[in-house]
Structure 1
Amino acid sequence: MNSWIITGGAGCGKSSVTELLAHHLLKNKDLVFSADRSAQELLDDPAIQEELLRSFGPSALTQQDGRRLADRGWLRAEVFSNPEKRRMLEQILHPGVLRALELMRESRFNAGANVFLAEVPLHYEIGGTVSADLIIVVAASPEVQKRRLMERRGLDESIIEQMLRAQWPIAAKVERADVVIWNDGDRNALEAQVLTLARQYWQA
């Protein structure tokens, strides 16, 4: 079974590439591992919330409809403005995310899958600890990254700048990639690149 990691910078279109690859290679996007989705699920885990409470204090949690939830907006502002707090959050979430990834990879292998797709935005930032046969970096110019993050996620410029500074530069990721998909253009240009990659896989 081939293991492919899709990574890149914020606002570069990693999720779009992953969705397209899943469509062409798996026919089912639910068979793709998403590190972001796994992290969101962990934030709803009461045990993780207790760790957040101990590490960040009561402001890390909020109440909604009688349920205790992680305050994602507050945590985002805290960790992207403070490298030490960002490392604290990573130490809480990353072990669980990596365990979930390996469990899904094992499940796909046992099911006889030919390819395992995993979207891991911080693949290089966490030291490339996830083994893979192919690393796909989705890249875009900083201007496009910022515009997309503003338009699609409603983030203000100060938070975006902090997010981008917290990640490896796109150029550094591109240098280490097996495959680079450049996503400054429109959807058609992106689909053409992904289809070319998928066809190469089929022919391999």
Structure 2
Amino acid sequence: MLIIGLTGGIGSGKTAASDFFADAGIQVVDADIVAREVVEPGEPAWQAIKHRYGQSALLEDDTLNRAWLRQKVFSDPAERQWLEGETHPRIRESLIRQLSEASSPYAILVSPLLFESGQSELVSRTLVVDVPVETQVERACARDANAEDQIRRIIAAQIPREERLSKATEVVDNSGSPDDLYKQLQALHEKYLTLSQA
């Protein structure tokens, strides 16, 4: 099975790209969705987080207090490492299972931390959705109503843009219009269909 790893920094347009492939009938497995599933109330990673941080890490409905947790782990590298140690192996297991069940000609693994998490080992090729850093900041602030300094901290915690680009098999430039992006993705979709039949 041909598996394409789709990645890009925060605010780069990974969702627009993955939606394009999903609309074309391609199975998309999203690491962010899986990451949310492994920390749902009662799951082993959720229990570990509750045990470590207590009620502060939870909202009234027992789901994770993501804003509190994000603040905690992005300001302390040791805490971030602990959290990743609890969640990443469980995420990886679920990704492998879902990708192996895909029935489309090829599959897409969407992961903001494709290279950082080692999930790139699960894919045959990597596709980076790229925009300049200032565009990332602008779009992410507008979309999530996050403070600029928090967006910049998230960008700093991700692999540097140049390094991400150097590891890519393919790159699409998403600094133009949605139509520009879709034209690039359509060409890649056709290429991937051909490669999946090889």
TM-score by length of 1: 0.89
Give the AA of the match of 2:14.
Answer: K
Contact 1:24 1:195 in 2 (8 A): no
Letter of the 2:149 counterpart: S
Equivalent positions of 1:27-176 (< 5 A) are 31-46=27-42, 47-63=44-60, 67-108=61-102, 111=103, 113-128=104-119, 130-176=121-167
CA gap of 1:89–1:107, structure 2 versus 1, over 3 A, is same
* 1:182, distance to aligned residue in structure 2 (A): 1.3
Q: Which amino acid aligns with 1:98?
A: R
Which residue in the other structure is 2:19 paired with? 19
Q: What SS does structure 1 have at the residue aligned with 2:151?
A: helix
Secondary structure, counterpart of 1:62 in structure 2:
coil
Distance change (3 Å), C-alpha of 1:20 and 1:134: same
Q: 2 CA distance for matches of 1:184 and 1:56?
A: 40
Matches of 1:167 and 1:13 in 2, distance apart? 15
CA distance in 1, matches of 2:164, 2:120: 15
Residue 127 of structure 1 and its aligned partner are, at CA, apart by 3.1
Please, what is the CA RMSD of the aligned residues? 1.5
Give the direction of change, closer, same or farther, for the CA distance of 1:39–1:176 in structure 2 (3 Å limit): same
Q: CA shift at 1:57, angstroms?
A: 3.2
Following TM superposition, by how much is the alpha carbon of 1:85 offset from its aligned partner in structure 2, in angstroms? 1.3
> How far apart are the structure 2 equivalents of 1:57 and 1:202?
48
**Residue correspondences, number:** 194
**Tell me, which stretches of 5 or more residues in structure 1 are unaligned?**
none
Q: Hey, what's the Cα distance between the residues in 2 that align with 1:81 and 1:61?
A: 18
Matched residue, 1:194: 185
| Identical pairs, percent | 28
- Cα gap change, 1:159/1:203 in structure 2, threshold over 3 Å: closer, same or farther? same
Shift of 1:40: 1.1
Q: Deviations over 1:60-92 (max 9, x none)?
A: 1121xxx31110111111111221111111111
Counterpart-to-counterpart distance in 2, 1:54 and 1:129: 31
Q: Would the aligned equivalents of 2:17 and 2:185 in 1 still touch at CA under 8 Å?
A: yes
Q: Supply the distance in 1 between the matched residues of 2:93 and 2:41 (Cα, whole angstroms).
A: 15
Indicate the SS of the match to 1:185. coil
1:3 counterpart = 2:3: yes
Structure 1 position 129, deviation (Å): 5.1
**Conserved? CA contact 1:55–1:88, under 8 Å:** no
Q: Is the 8 A contact 1:49 1:61 kept in 2?
A: no
Give the conservation status (yes or no) of the 8 Å contact 1:122–1:167: yes
Aligned residue for 2:121, secondary structure, equals: coil
What do residues 92-150 of structure 1 show as CA deviations (whole Å, max 9, x unaligned)? 11111111111111212xx4x32111101101112355321111111111111001111
Secondary structure at the aligned position of 1:6 is classed as strand
- The aligned amino acid for 1:117 is I
Q: Is the 8 A contact 2:106 2:193 kept in 1?
A: no
